[in-house]
Amino acid sequence: MDDTSTKWLFWFDDLRGSDIDVVGKKCANLGEMTHANMAVPPGYALSLTAYQRFMTETGAQDDIREYLKRFGTAGPVSYGEYSEASRVIREIVESKLMPHDMATQILDAYRELCNRCGGKEVAVAVRSSGTVSSPGAYETYLNIRGGDEVVFHVIKVWGSAFSVQALGARMVKGQPVEIPGLGVAVLKMVNARAAGVAFTKHPTTGDPTKIVIEATWGLGESVVGGDISPDRFVVNKHTREVEKVINAKTKQVVYGEKGTEHIDVPPELQEQPALNDRELQELVDLCLRVEDYYEGVPQDMEWALDGEILSDSNLFLVQTRNITKTAVQKSKSEVLAEMMSKSMFDGRHAARKPTTSGSTGGG
């Protein structure tokens, strides 16, 4: 990819997996999967440079450093201090207006995305994209419509770089409060009828011959966040033999008027599998294709079945990452850091705020 020194907004098809240091892991992986012609929702990425520009040009960085002086050279050291620092720093970040030229470019990209998708105000997900895996540390905002709302939620994602979970994880790892940057993905929402995660090797035992798929009704956030007990399918890669555990799924995450909401699953669906046999086999095929594309490196994937598409081609890949360690291989410090970084805040119902320093219009 060229011109990374000044360019800070990239479409997924501009990116490759090697661009982690430019746009973060999630965006780089989505770019690589787009390049590989996988079924990835269209979208664009804001680079770490965009974060750095915002923090510098708005004065947020200087305000944060001035605030942190009260903790002395050691910085925050206790959970209480990190909690207070998180609250104040996020208020600093989210009080700043997006620089006008940056807001204009983000709005123009959102309009182009709407044009590509054939809609006026297409619903998008605004997701964080760090350079290293930080499960649950940063926030995601779903079903965001309109250009000004996209700009607002980009700032919210950047503010989540200082969430209690993110700061707590840095405390455990002995890292500083400030980070070099945080990428952001803006991609078309999949209005999921069912969604979940898939692992191309068993995430607990490390068995490379088993694919483990978890599925639930609605959007996949409840599976990723551990809010419900999803259906679980363990599939033998070679024989396609399936072991199923179908759980009662009483709640689902769906589109709200803004953001998302938790609603009851209709009684007749609560104990029905979220994937039928054809959909399960199609997802297994996708798992094998992605793992093969990465030359056998096991993958941790997020997927969704679009309920608005009536054809069989309604399966989308919304994230993939390498599986590096199984649960039994993680050290105590890694487990503690992950526990501290688990998201405890559902920030998907944000209030409106002005976010641009000039009138640049909506998407």
Domains and CATH numbers, the chain: 9-189 (3.30.1490.20), 192-307 (3.30.470.20)
pLDDT in tens, 184-227: 999 999 989 999 999 999 999 999 999 999 999 998 776 665 56
**Backbone angles phi and psi of 303, in degrees to 5:** -140, 165
> What does pTM read for this prediction?
0.83
Spatial distance between the Cα atoms of 140 and 345, rounded to a whole number of angstroms: 11
Does pLDDT of 324 surpass 80? no
Average pLDDT value for residue range 263-289: 94
Q: Name the DSSP letter for residue 15.
A: -
CA 163 to chain centroid: 15
Spatial distance between the Cα atoms of 158 and 141, rounded to a whole number of angstroms: 12
**Backbone angles phi and psi of 209, in degrees to 5:** -90, -5
Q: Which of 285, 279, 274, 319 is nearest to 299 (CA)?
A: 319
pLDDT in tens, 10-60: 999 999 999 999 999 999 999 999 999 999 999 999 999 999 999 999 999
Spatial distance between the Cα atoms of 181 and 159, rounded to a whole number of angstroms: 11
Spatial distance between the Cα atoms of 127 and 139, rounded to a whole number of angstroms: 7
End-to-end distance of the chain based on CA atoms, in angstroms? 27
* Angle, in degrees to the nearest 10, between helices 147-159 and 79-94: 150
Which residues sit opposite 188 in a β-bridge?
124
Helix (H, G, I), strand (E, B) or coil at 93: helix
CA 358 to chain centroid: 29
Beta strands in 273-347 (DSSP E): 299-306, 315-322
